[in-house]
């Protein structure tokens, strides 16, 4: 190992340029990988959140997060509960906290009005970092996700203003890095009034009858797809979105970023691999006499092979360590820039760090195989004669 380090230090400029090539690739891999890790966590968390329920919205509306679809009459919940396989149905009013602020890469901050007696799902706990959950019959109170608490700088006991209505914060949920972090939950009646005040022209029934969607909890999750089909078949004018449909929609978002990771990996392979190969080939050419002397005095072929493979691997590991450090620092700075808005775009995980470093190290080792074999197979007599 000591000799390998000494050999690498012989040509400082060449070594620096070689390592730089690996640094560029690993830096791109780390930053883009952190972006993909964040997206994957959001998608996985969304799967967990959505997998226990069916979402029912107006068939003619846009639907989706933020309450973009046409409103429903909450009486539909009672009709849906009569469908075979339905445990309960809970009316929900969901809309953007601030209509001027979208989600961008992340989920947008949402207000979700819930009916406490029917909405809580025992299979998906809402762990609290502080405070308590909304209780039946309460008004002008809210339990908020961790990102909402950070974005608006509020905690239990403070007030949070949503669409010009002031709510007392009674609970802050533990950070999950998933969908619930972006939600301020309020009593259904309060959300209904806010929705009507924001868009009175789209309401053709009483305020307390309003819902933007109905969340349906099946009796048996194994039958959730069949239950969704039955709801659509038996109740006209609505669309039932099953967990598999939600998962498919969320999964589409990951495709582009996974392709980005592949692209970053290709950059690392091409730039880093070629630079290591070039450096090691030149090193072998310069050290032909040295190799010949070692073989002439009895150095086995395996020792020569290991020597050059070790040098190539160290180049890869060094470039990986530097690229990884720069990438992690960049991610930290970028997340710090967006933290005030309650949004973190990147996520560094131990698995990402391990993959990036292992990738660089293995890349260096693979790129060094050809030069190492070339050095190991040199004929000592010919090597000494050529110098």
Separation of alpha carbons 231 and 229, rounded Å: 5
Residue 147: both structure tokens together: 């990102």
The predicted structure's pLDDT at residue 67: 45
% residues pLDDT > 70 (the chain): 82
pLDDT tens sequence across 59-81: 875 544 444 467 889 899 999 99
The predicted structure's pLDDT at residue 217: 93
The predicted structure's pLDDT at residue 104: 52
In the block, which residue shows the tokens 């846009």? 62
The predicted structure's pLDDT at residue 286: 73
pLDDT tens sequence across 253-291: 667 667 777 776 677 667 777 778 878 777 777 777 777
% residues pLDDT > 90 (the chain): 32
The predicted structure's pLDDT at residue 385: 62
The predicted structure's pLDDT at residue 183: 92
CB distance 190 to 113 below 8 Å: yes
Better-predicted residue by pLDDT, 201 or 16: 16
Better-predicted residue by pLDDT, 375 or 316: 316
Model confidence at 364, in pLDDT bands (50, 70, 90)?
A: confident
The predicted structure's pLDDT at residue 46: 59
283 HSE (CA, 13 A, CB side): 31
Model confidence at 165, in pLDDT bands (50, 70, 90)?
A: very high
Within 10 angstroms of residue 122's Cβ, the number of other Cβ atoms is: 7
* Residue 349 DSSP one-character state: -
Bridge partner list, 239: 57
What is the Cα 165 distance to its own chain's centre? 33
CB distance 10 to 279 below 8 Å: no
The predicted structure's pLDDT at residue 66: 41
Torsional sign, CA 22, 24, 25, 28: positive
Decide the pairing of beta strands 213-218 and 86-96: antiparallel
Better-predicted residue by pLDDT, 105 or 188: 188
CB distance 50 to 383 below 8 Å: no
The predicted structure's pLDDT at residue 8: 67
Better-predicted residue by pLDDT, 51 or 30: 30
| Phi (first) and psi of residue 2, to 5 degrees | -60, -45
The predicted structure's pLDDT at residue 81: 94
pLDDT tens sequence across 104-127: 556 788 999 999 999 998 777 778
CB distance 182 to 107 below 8 Å: yes
Q: Is the pLDDT of residue 27 over 80?
A: yes
The predicted structure's pLDDT at residue 253: 63
* Residue 269 DSSP one-character state: I
pLDDT tens sequence across 221-253: 889 999 999 999 999 989 998 888 877 766 666
Helix axis angle, 369-376 relative to 301-338, nearest 10°? Answer: 160
Better-predicted residue by pLDDT, 230 or 99: 230
The predicted structure's pLDDT at residue 137: 92
The predicted structure's pLDDT at residue 116: 93
The predicted structure's pLDDT at residue 84: 95
Enumerate the H helices of the chain as residue ranges: 2-8, 12-50, 76-80, 116-119, 146-151, 188-198, 224-234, 243-267, 273-286, 288-296, 301-338, 350-367, 369-376, 380-385
Look at residue 160 and give its three-state secondary structure.
strand
Mean pLDDT highest for which of 150-159, 205-214, 347-356? 150-159
The predicted structure's pLDDT at residue 163: 92
pLDDT tens sequence across 320-360: 899 999 999 999 998 887 765 556 778 888 988 998 898 88
Separation of alpha carbons 218 and 81, rounded Å: 9
Residue 320: both structure tokens together: 């990986």
């Amino acid at each position: 190992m000591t000799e390998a380090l000494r050999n690498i230090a012989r040509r400082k400029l060449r070594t620096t340029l070689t390592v730089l090539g690996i640094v560029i690739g690993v830096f791109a891999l780390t930053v883009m990988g952190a972006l993909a890790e964040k997206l994957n966590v959001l998608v996985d968390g969304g799967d967990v959140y959505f997998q226990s329920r069916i979402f029912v919205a107006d068939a003619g509306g846009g639907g989706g997060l933020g309450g973009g679809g046409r409103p429903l009459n909450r009486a539909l919940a009672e009709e849906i509960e009569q469908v075979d396989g339905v445990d309960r149905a809970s009316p929900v009013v969901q809309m953007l906290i601030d209509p001027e602020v979208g989600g961008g890469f992340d989920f947008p901050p949402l207000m979700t009005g819930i009916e406490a007696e029917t909405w809580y799902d025992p299979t998906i706990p809402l762990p609290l970092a502080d405070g308590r959950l909304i209780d039946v019959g309460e008004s002008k109170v809210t339990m908020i996700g961790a990102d909402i608490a950070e974005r608006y700088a509020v905690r239990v006991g403070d007030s949070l203003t949503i669409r010009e209505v002031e709510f007392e914060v009674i609970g802050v949920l533990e950070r999950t890095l998933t969908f619930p972090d972006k939600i301020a939950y309020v009593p259904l009646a309060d959300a209904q009034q806010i929705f009507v005040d924001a868009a009175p022209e789209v309401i053709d029934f009483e305020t307390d009858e309003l819902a933007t969607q109905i969340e349906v909890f099946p009796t048996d999750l194994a039958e959730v797809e069949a239950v969704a089909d039955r709801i659509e078949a038996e109740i006209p004018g609505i669309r039932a979105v099953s967990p598999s449909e939600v998962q498919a929609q969320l999964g589409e978002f990951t495709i582009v970023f996974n392709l980005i990771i592949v692209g970053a990996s290709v950059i690392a392979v091409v730039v880093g691999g070629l630079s290591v190969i070039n450096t090691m080939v030149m090193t072998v050419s310069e050290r032909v006499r040295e190799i010949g002397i070692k073989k002439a005095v009895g150095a086995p072929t395996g020792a020569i092979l290991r020597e050059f493979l070790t040098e190539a691997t160290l180049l890869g590991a060094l470039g990986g360590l530097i690229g990884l450090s720069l990438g992690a620092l960049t991610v930290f700075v970028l997340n710090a820039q967006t933290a005030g808005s309650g949004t973190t775009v990147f996520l560094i995980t131990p698995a990402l760090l391990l993959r990036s470093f292992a990738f660089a190290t293995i890349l260096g080792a693979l790129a060094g195989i050809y030069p190492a074999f070339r050095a190991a197979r040199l004929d000592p007599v010919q090597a000494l004669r050529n110098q």
